[in-house]
Amino acid sequence: MEDLTAIELRERIARGEITSVAAVESVFSRIAGRDGAVGAYISTDRERAMARAAEVDRRIAAGEEVGFLGGVPVAVKDNMCTEWGATTCGSKILENFHSPYNATVVEKLIAADAIIVGKTNMDEFAMGSSTENSGLKRTVNPWDTCRVPGGSSGGSAAAVAAGFCYAALGSDTGGSIRQPASFCSVVGLKPTYGRVSRYGLVAYGSSLDQIGPLTRTVADAALVMDVIAGHDPADSTSVDEGIAGGCSYLEGIDKGVEKLRIGIVPGLTTGADESVQRAVEAALEVYKSVGAEIVEVEMPHSEYAIAAYYVIATAEASSNLARYDGVHYGYRSTGAEDYVEVYSKSRAEAFGQEVKRRIMLGTYALSSGYYDAYYLKALKVRNLIRGDFAVAFEKCDCIMMPVAPTTAFRIGEKINDPLTMYLSDVYTIAANLAGIPGMSIPCGFDHDNLPIGLQILGPTFSEGKLLRIGRMYEKETDWCRRRPSFAD
């Protein structure tokens, strides 16, 4: 049962061949045996999951219809609000925060009869690329436990890779779904900005944040998208484009794309590890063998993407994180003498180093006298990058490149050098700045048996096509069937 995809599992559950209770039990026994070493979950709720699974089984036995994810164990990143348990965002400041409501995506998972088994670890407030910035615990990569799982959705990627759930949700502000997916050999999709509701997602960089699936296969990602995508009146930035006609990502996933034109950006990957470059080139050969044409496109402003991102994301974070003042939410210092001290001590004691660094950077970039020089300039760069993609997509259906310049790095290797850490996102950030969808799919392993991801970017609202393109590759290869030996 552990080797099944989410789609296979839901079909067997629907046919009564496996009960949801048995699936949930088996996931929890794996978690009990191995999550002590991996550290994927911040919290799990066995009782709640078992009760819901029993309810799904009862409905199936009674001949009732169940939802798209009927009885399938899934996980959500701990920056998505749940009415039960805590929503910590990987931070000490929210360690005991109990949300009064569910995020829209959580409501949608529940409505689809998914069984949420737990909340996954992450870099504090989603700031990081290795999950090492979590204020609560460490997560390791199931492929090599000396290495990071990537981040910031490292717990979700590790949970899917290690078989602690059949699908998970992550959030991606600058690469946080795609990069951990690549490091852990799972599929990760960052949808178009606005495609999935952010209501109930703890905000980091609100103009960049987007929720998406981490799954074992491309088809599973399509299934989860069918559940979570769509307009939500509670999130004014969500859109109903293309959904209104009853769009299904899973339907037609096997149809492929005729006369597929794949854009590549010459020279872009010169800094990437050789093994990464080779795996991506090999993936392009697979596409050529099924009839795709490769065209060269230019991204003249991509070299400024990281700089622009770290101004815009930190500026938005400094404003979003102002609400954690020891009064409204979460941790309050006990040593404060007056209200100013309540603010400063609570924040000083409970925010981690990276979060403080970013609040300071963002506050600086927004301060009078610097606003034009940094923030406004970054917004202009953002527009230029958006324009680069618009021009490129006139010539091609999608652009392919690596997800990250390296495979999973060693724990501790980059944590004391924030700039090197920021460079992990060199290929992923542009998609967030432009608001376009991007997907990471497993495309091989390096000489240390560490996973490599292929990134596929498309124009806004092209996730249906991206999924079909990803599926074309998946059908030709068997990377997605490989599991870490740790998970056996």
Q: Where does this chain bind ligand GLN (CB under 6 A)?
A: 126-129, 152, 172-176, 204, 313, 425
E strand intervals along 247-394:
261-264, 293-296
Q: How many CB atoms lie within 10 A of CB 475?
A: 14
Q: How far is the CB of 191 from ligand GLN (least distance, A)?
A: 13
Q: How far is the CB of 89 from ligand GLN (least distance, A)?
A: 11
Closest CA to 439 of 487, 391, 475, 474: 474
Residue 295 DSSP SS3: strand
- Active site (annotated) includes residue 318: no
Which one, 125 or 324, has the nearer CB to ligand GLN?
125
Instruction: Assess contact for 144 and 450: CB atoms under 8 A.
Output: yes
* CB-side neighbour CA atoms (13 Å) of 75: 35
Closest CA to 320 of 220, 225, 201, 223: 201
Which one, 204 or 324, has the nearer CB to ligand GLN?
204
Q: How far is the CB of 215 from ligand GLN (least distance, A)?
A: 18
Which one, 53 or 439, has the nearer CB to ligand GLN?
439
What per-residue string of b and e applies to 330-351 under the rule 16 or more CB within 10 Å gives b?
bbbbeebeeeeebbebbbebbb
- Active site (annotated) includes residue 238: no
Q: How far is the CB of 175 from ligand GLN (least distance, A)?
A: 5
Closest CA to 464 of 403, 398, 399: 398
- Which residue is catalytic, options 99, 129, 176, 318? 176
Contacts of residue 334, Cβ cutoff 8 Å, sequence gap at least 6:
none
Which one, 173 or 185, has the nearer CB to ligand GLN?
173
Which one, 128 or 352, has the nearer CB to ligand GLN?
128
Which one, 336 or 423, has the nearer CB to ligand GLN?
423
- Which residue is catalytic, options 91, 99, 129, 152? 152
- Active site (annotated) includes residue 176: yes
Give the 3-state DSSP-derived string for 415-456, with helices as H, strands as E and coil as C.
CCCHHHHHHHHCCCHHHHHHCCCEEEEEEEECCCCCEEEEEE
Q: How far is the CB of 206 from ligand GLN (least distance, A)?
A: 12
Q: How far is the CB of 412 from ligand GLN (least distance, A)?
A: 17
Q: DSSP label at 124?
A: G
Active site positions, annotated: 77, 152, 176
